[in-house]
Structure formats: C-alpha cells, structure tokens
Amino acid sequence: MTVTLLLLCLFAFLAGFIDSIVGGGGLIQLPAMLLLLPGVPVPTVFGTGKVSSLSGTVAALRRYLSGPEKLEIRWRTVALTALVAGGFALLGSRAVSHLHKEAVRPLVMGMLVVMAIYTFWRKDFGSLHAPRLSGYREVLIGVVLGASIGFYDGFFGPGTGSLLLFAFVGLFGYDFIAASASAKLVNVATNVASLFYFATTGQVLYKVALPMAACNMLGSTLGARMAQRHGTGFVRVLFLGVVSAFILKLGWDTFA
C-alpha cells in the first residue's frame, strides 16, 4: 500500500499542477486511481479523488487571487455561476450510480475537438481581456453554464476545468489568466457539492485522500505561480496540449 500511495501522490501532484493552469487534472488523477485501486468501488474512487481535487483547486484559486496583478473578474456573474454549478454538481454526483458514463464520452470528445480547433485557429484567443457580456444576458449565460458544467463535473468530472476555461474565454471574453481564476472559483463550488454527497454516503477513503490532497495542493500552487509568471501565451499552448491528450484518451476509451 505504501508504494501505491506514493504513486497516487505523484499523480495527484501532476494533476494539481496541470489543473491549476488549464484544467484537465482529472485526466491524470482519475485513471491513475482506477488503475491503482482496482478493488475500490467507482463511487468511492470518485469521492476520494474529490478531496484531492478540491484541495488543489482551493490552493490554485488562493494563488491567483493573491497574485501581483489585479484580476478583472465579474464577481456577481462568476459567483452565481458557481452557486448554480454547485447545486447541479450534487445532482450529477447522485446520478453516478444510475446513468451510463459511456454515453457521455462521445459528446464530450466532440466538444473538446471543437475547442481545440477553435483555439488553434484563433491565434489571439484568450490573449486580451475584453468582457463582452453584461446585465441579464451575462447572468443567463452564467446560469446555463453553471447548470451544465456543474452536472457534468458531479457525474463524470475529467475536463471540467478545461471546459470552464474555454467558456470564460469564448463566451465572457476573459483572457486566459482571468478565466483560469474564474474557472477555479466555479470548480471549488462543484467539488464542494460533490464531496458533500460522497462524504455523507461514506464513499471517501481518507487515508488515501488526505496525502493526495496535500500533494495536489503543492502542485496547484506551483502551477498557478507558473501561469502568472509566463502569461496567457504559455497557458494557451498548455491548454491545447491538455485538450488534445484528453481527446485521445476519450477516443481510446470510446472506440478501442
């Protein structure tokens, strides 16, 4: 168990590092947990992973908010999106045992392909911070985004941060750094809601979850610091890399 725990902590660190910048940490952490914890029920794996993910997301958010540059975030919209996302994440977590995740993979893979092509084609995508929504329209899109992404995170999970990052850049007009911070705030809400469900139903292995959480926090802090230091261009390149890897992973799981 000691070797297994060390490997899980290593993957948690890597997941936190990637997730703090562009999302997609679940692409690293969840498969590793499913592989290294073969006798553990899937809902318990999900619940244990949520402790690690939440810890890392909080650490990354704290780093972004305390950074040297002032982030221009529409707090009302982001907070409302986070609140709705949290509620729907709880519903998604409850649906884990009743729905087939295999049906979700092709849809998510299609969305990620579109995201990758669009980001690669638009060279200036995410380089400028120019919020384009306001008033009722901004609130409505925030609610729809929170509901859809929140349910997805509670139900399936991997790629949530990348989907949120793309949405905050593409829909709201944020640059990649402000979008990363906003995505982290929403992701905190979804992770809290999902973890609440898994914890209250006894589906968390704390002796595994807590060491992984510490490593995820370390990786997240370092990743957020690197994103702030190297700017939007670095985040854009890493975003394309993570999304491409996620497409390949989902494609393999779906068609292999």
CA atoms within 13 A on the CB side of 256: 6
- Reduced to 3 states, what is the DSSP secondary structure of residue 131? coil
Indicate whether this model's pTM tops 0.75: yes
- Average predicted confidence (pLDDT) for the chain: 81
Query: What is the radius of gyration, based on Cα positions, of the chain?
Result: 17
- Within 97-199, strands assigned E span none
**Predicted local distance difference test score (pLDDT) of residue 58:** 92
Residue pLDDT, tens place only, 133-181: 677 888 899 899 999 999 988 877 767 877 888 888 888 888 888 888 8
Residue pLDDT, tens place only, 98-111: 655 555 566 666 76
For the range 70-74, what are the long-range contacts, defined as Cβ-Cβ under 8 Å and sequence gap of 24 or more? Answer: 71/177, 71/178, 71/181, 72/129, 72/131, 72/174, 72/178, 73/174, 73/178, 73/181, 73/182, 74/131, 74/138, 74/172
